[in-house]
Amino acid sequence: MTETLKKKLFINGKWQATEHFTKLVSPYNGKVLAEIPSASMEDVELAIESAHQARKTMAALPSHKRAAILEQLAGLLESRKEEAAEIIAKEAAKPIKTAMVEVARTIATYKFAAEEAKRIHGETLTMDATADGEGRIGYTVREPIGVLGAITPFNFPMNLVAHKVGPAIAAGNTIVLKPASQTPLSSIFLAELLAETDLPAGAFNLVTGSGSVIGDQLVTDSRVKSISFTGSPAVGIGIRNKAGLKKVSLELGSNAAVIVDKGINIDKIIQRCVSAAFAFQGQVCISLQRAYVHEDVYDEFVQKFTAATNSLKLGDSLDPSVDISALISPGDVKRSLDWIGEAKQHGAVVAAGGKSEGNILHPTVLLEVDSKLKVSCQEVFAPIVLINKVSSVEEAIDLVNDSQFGLQAGIYTENINLALSAAEKLEVGGVIINDIPTYRVDNMPYGGVKKSGTGREGLKYAIEEMTEMKLIIFNRN
């Protein structure tokens, strides 16, 4: 990525200069990484109009050509995957080995989008199921919605962008992308790659800068027909309130939980649970935040989980051996320490961590945490996990459901009846049996209930959110 490209927006297939910039600094060491353009209202207007003008061209593009563009993009990303991972590691302080996993998933996501572009279809209707339908043929088709406003977070700056850009292109839509202010370089890199594909000019537009400026314009402009947002519940609810009759897909917060039943081989699940809690410093929407462990295996689970936590390596995100690096901002370190302090004041036991070095918060394990405390009932988005003892799976299910969120939950059990009961009773968008709540592959439906949002990601399911159904009926009488 060249310095010149870092300092421009991407609008209507061209690199667009703007007047104002902000310095982007590394979360790990505070060094300046780049100067990022701050889009003005005029820049955003130009981006929206470019997408609006390109919408008919994209809608008319045959599905095989849309698929080919996405395959081109996946191939270009594959050829520059090390560079992509380094960008993520620098701007997000994501450990480089974790960043490489994100890039691999992003490539797969664009390939899934290419496949789904070729199988967007409706259904035929049994019109003669009623007497008034005799002699008629009915069917549905799915059509592009038009201009999509995509607003993305910092924690997966390539893959969560792919979950909006990929299905939007597959469906024949145009896009105005506003990435997180902390991680714009990944989206600038994406614009570089898309500029090398056969994507029509104006189909993809990138504007960086203030969310209050860009986001409000996208949400309120009548030319933008759909908003896809991943971020905080407060911002998501604000978007929904302003969006009017637009389609709105929201992937919001969570405080994901796992249930561990008696009879489970603890050695088999510890590393998996530790990874779920602390991957990318816990800054994952479905990061394991709450563990409810049966009293018969509780002590063993805590001892082995704590030992594994203490073995994690902290340091520079570019070091391939590092497991934990800096949180995205100093403010998040302070907030996390405040929440840990509150838990301690109310009787929680700190079994590991509970301190920081610079912007690195040591992975923290809390025991005996009251359910009303912030580390339990709010989204911590930091390397903090609580482990509480339960006497039954039924008790654990009630505790998991005692939450304003409901994205995903996991349960480890050898009892098929308990597994089926949990699948039925857990108030979440996804139940993962015999695995962590943090499990996700990119073609599965992904989304939540309650304050965790509305709509579903996963390429096929996102395309449904990004298209309109049209009914056609022929009268043969």
Each residue of 152-161: pLDDT tens digit? 999 999 999 9
Taking the mean position of all CA atoms in its chain, how far away is CA 180? 12
Distances 472 to 124, 136, 141, 142, 146 between C-alpha atoms, Å: 10, 10, 8, 11, 20
Asked whether 9 and 43 are in contact (CB, 8 A), the reply is yes
Residues 304 and 340 in one domain: yes
Whether residue 297 has pLDDT greater than 50: yes
Question: What is the C-alpha separation between 288 and 200, in angstroms, rounded?
Answer: 41
Residue 166 domain-assigned? yes
Q: Which of 86, 285, 379, 465 is catalytic?
A: 285
Please name the residue that has the structure tokens 């992904």. Answer: 446
Please name the residue that has the structure tokens 């990318």. Answer: 280
State the Cα angle at 171 between 169 and 172, rounded to 5°.
Answer: 65
Question: What is the C-alpha separation between 98 and 86, in angstroms, rounded?
Answer: 11
Query: Going by C-beta distance under 8 Å and a sequence separation of 6 or more, which residues neighbour residue 194?
Result: 73, 204
Residue 212: per-residue pLDDT: 86
Listed residue (175, 57, 192) closest to 113, CA to CA: 175
Mean pLDDT across 302-319: 98
Residue 337 domain-assigned? yes
Asked whether 453 and 290 are in contact (CB, 8 A), the reply is no
Whether residue 5 has pLDDT greater than 80: no
Percentage above 70 pLDDT, the chain: 99
Residue 1: per-residue pLDDT: 45
Q: What share of the chain is helix, strand, coil (3-state, %, to 5)?
A: 40, 25, 35
- Which residue type does 40 have? S
Residues 236 and 325 in one domain: no
Residues 331 and 373 in one domain: yes
Residues 266 and 140 in one domain: no
Q: Quick check: helix, strand or coil at residue 313?
A: coil
Residue 3: per-residue pLDDT: 47
Residue 445: per-residue pLDDT: 97
Residues 420 and 279 in one domain: yes
Mean pLDDT across 194-200: 98
Percentage above 90 pLDDT, the chain: 97
Q: What is the pLDDT of residues 203-229, one digit of tens each?
A: 999 999 988 889 999 999 999 999 999
Question: What is the C-alpha separation between 135 and 235, in angstroms, rounded?
Answer: 50
Question: What is the C-alpha separation between 467 and 53, in angstroms, rounded?
Answer: 18
How many residues are present in the chain?
477
Residue 7: per-residue pLDDT: 65
Residues 457 and 379 in one domain: no
Residue 444 domain-assigned? no
Q: What would the two tokens of residue 312 be?
A: 């994690």
State the Cα angle at 305 between 303 and 308, rounded to 5°.
Answer: 110
Q: What would the two tokens of residue 76 be?
A: 């270009």
290 forms beta bridges with 257, 386
Whether residue 183 has pLDDT greater than 60: yes
Residue 446 domain-assigned? no
| Active site (annotated) includes residue 251 | yes
Residue 162 domain-assigned? yes
Residue 305 domain-assigned? yes
Residue 196: per-residue pLDDT: 98
H-helix or E-strand spanning residue 336: helix 330-345
CATH number for the domain spanning 346: value is 3.40.309.10
Residues 269 and 215 in one domain: no
Residues 190 and 279 in one domain: no
Residue 333 domain-assigned? yes
- CB neighbourhood size of 135 (10 A): 11
Asked whether 82 and 147 are in contact (CB, 8 A), the reply is no
Residues 37 and 158 in one domain: yes
Q: How many structural domains compose the chain?
A: 2
CATH number for the domain spanning 114: value is 3.40.605.10
Q: What is the pLDDT of residues 94-131, one digit of tens each?
A: 999 999 999 999 999 999 999 999 999 999 999 999 99
How many Cα atoms occupy the beta-carbon half-sphere of 85 within 13 Å? 21
Residue 4 domain-assigned? no
Residue 376: per-residue pLDDT: 98
Residues 345 and 394 in one domain: yes
Q: For the chain, what is the mean pLDDT?
A: 96
Residues 224 and 313 in one domain: no
Q: What is the pLDDT of residues 359-414, one digit of tens each?
A: 999 999 999 999 999 999 999 999 999 999 999 999 999 999 999 999 999 999 99
260 forms beta bridges with 293, 412
Q: What is the pLDDT of residues 249-288, one digit of tens each?
A: 999 999 999 999 999 999 999 999 999 999 999 999 999 9
H-helix or E-strand spanning residue 148: strand 147-151
Residue 4: per-residue pLDDT: 41
Q: What would the two tokens of residue 315 be?
A: 């340091």
Whether residue 451 has pLDDT greater than 80: yes
Residue 93: per-residue pLDDT: 98
Mean pLDDT across 421-444: 98
Whether residue 194 has pLDDT greater than 60: yes
Query: Going by C-beta distance under 8 Å and a sequence separation of 6 or more, which residues neighbour residue 3?
Result: 34
Q: Which of 102, 251, 379, 465 is catalytic?
A: 251
Query: Going by C-beta distance under 8 Å and a sequence separation of 6 or more, which residues neighbour residue 394?
Result: 421
Beta pairing class for 364-367 and 408-412: unpaired
* Domain, as residue range, for 99: 9-252+452-473
Question: What is the C-alpha separation between 467 and 105, in angstroms, rounded?
Answer: 24
Residues 284 and 247 in one domain: no
